[in-house]
A and B are shown apart, each in its own frame.
Chain A
Amino acid sequence: MSKQLPIAEGLFTWPADNPALLGSRCNNCGIATFPVAQSCMACSGEDVSVEELPTRGTLWTWTVQQFMPKPPYLSGETPETFKPYGVGYLELPGGVRVEGRLTENDPDKIQIGMEMDVVFETWRTEDNGDEVISFFFKPVAAGD
């Protein structure tokens, strides 16, 4: 039977009812970072705690990757099936700005400052049928 596996251990809570990205916060200076680090880049402290990061934030900046990257890109796509993808930094309040892929790739529908949710979706399917799960930033629909 096929399984759903996270793209990397410790990147986000998985499996979970309400998955979230995992960051670390320095117990000395209070600075958060993603992914979890063993020490603090801001103050060199080594006393850090792991915490779930907020799941909604605002888009700080963005681009659309219009051409297919060379390896280590590993999507299962071919140059013929490649779909351009959005990339951005999502500012998570009280936490950190996290870089990730956007679910949207139409430049006309992406603006700095728009609200987005962190979502977890199938990134690629392995030959044995296992689904590799990664995180994406998805525009908040009107009314949500």
Chain B
Amino acid sequence: MMDVAIVGIGIHPFGRTPSRTGLQQGAYAARLALKDAGVAWKDIQFAFGGSASAGNADALGNELGLTGIPFINVANGCATGGSSLMAAYSAIKSGEHDLGLVVGFDKHDRGAFNADPKALGLGDWYGEVGLMMTTQFFAMKIQKYMHDYGISSGTLAKVAEKAFTNGALNPNAWRREPVDADTIANSMMLNDPLTKFMFCSPAEGGVALVLCHADKARQYTDKPVYLKSAVLKSRRFGSFEVFAPSQALRQVDGPTVDASKAAFEMAGVGPRDIDVAQLQDTESGAEIMHMAENGFCEHGEQEHLIQSGATHIGGSMPINTDGGCLANGEPIGASGLRQVYENVLQLRHEAGEHQVPGEPKLGYTHVYGAPGISAVTILQR
């Protein structure tokens, strides 16, 4: 049974746009999404949205018009977009509302994020000695993973090479120049084993989606895309997560594994049924580990899959077809919704040069955020 459909999508190009604030980029995306669905802002019954650095999403009312609707600000790190979408999904599924907007946007300063230890319940010492760095976590997680499962540093470079190849095909991406694997591998080392070109950068952008009750989808579009599942999980005790001064000796599966299993169960499909996937790739290692954590392969199989091109747009398991975080950068509030935007394009067969071949029917998105949350959606044409 289908409950919720996506009937309108809009995006503000990612990258750097000095002429527009983050909020204006959100409004830009929202207007495009409304137009795509053929509805007016005054028709929208509720909204969920968020940004990490560009203001409250409900300030969009000042741009789009003040209509009195419930507009809830969402703040959940890199999973902000996924959290907004899950909340909107529940609002429609519950029968409370029929038509709503989900929006995410952001505008970050250059350079790595500087997180505040206090916001995460940590002592000041943790930041002072230089441990408050998301990049260290990603590097340490892939370092251990490479050691345990035989992933080579050449495969790390291949992931980034594919991202830039796909970004070059996507008019809304930030990085639009292909970069070869040797250049990536030989760029400046930031956190061993990850080099500069293997990390995504904080950036700018906005994405909006119009959602409605599935029964009414055909009123708005002849190409509805249905949300078969939208799941958000936080970490359980024992999972290895970012910003952890210590971790348990006995490790358990992380929130990505939990969210993925729940999403597949809810949708009644399995990883082999998925035609196109967008997996959180804040750095090259993340995409590799997330392939297995989301059930698309066994641990260690990535070495062969990536080296053989299986994850390319034309491969058997296309991943991050719009260039992912690596080519789009990461505006925190917008990033998770960009993945959904891309899958809707793919399922509508409107992705242009980065369209996967054939007739994709099922798309999968996955985000991971500090300090250990994960959101997964499964979309169906």
Identify the A interface with B (CB < 8 A). 7-8, 11, 23, 31, 33-35, 41-42, 60-67, 69-75, 85, 87-89, 91, 95-101, 107, 112, 123, 134
Contacts and interface: CB of A to CB of B under 8 A. Distances in A.
A62 B143 contact: yes
Contact of A8 (B125, B193, B194): B125
A73 B125 contact: no
Contacts of A67: 112, 190
A42 B248 contact: yes
A104 B202 CA distance: 30
A87 B245 contact: no
B75 interface: no
A134 B129 contact: yes
B124 interface: yes
Contacts of B190: 66-67
A51 to B, nearest CB: 13
A99 to B, nearest CB: 5
Contacts of B247: 89, 96-97, 99
A65 B136 CA distance: 7
B143 A96 contact: no
Contacts of B144: 60-61, 112
Contact of A72 (B117, B238, B244): B117
A13 to B, nearest CB: 15
A19 to B, nearest CB: 15
Contacts of B237: 31, 41-42
A8 B128 CA distance: 11
A8 B117 CA distance: 14
Nearest to A53: B246
Contacts of B246: 23, 33-35, 96-99
Interface residues of B, number: 38
Given A91-B249, A97-B247, A69 B130 contact: yes
A14 B140 CA distance: 29
Contacts of A8: 123-125
Contact of B131 (A71, A96, A101): A101
B1 to A, nearest CB: 36
B132 A72 contact: yes
Contacts of B189: 64, 66
Given A65-B136, A97-B247, A97-B248, A72 B147 contact: no
Contacts of B114: 69-72
Given A35-B123, A60-B144, A65-B135, 9 more contacts: A61-B141, A61-B144, A62-B143, A64-B192, A65-B130, A67-B190, A69-B132, A70-B111, A98-B246
A106 to B, nearest CB: 10
A73 B131 CA distance: 8
Contact of B192 (A42, A101, A107, A123): A107
Contacts of A88: 140
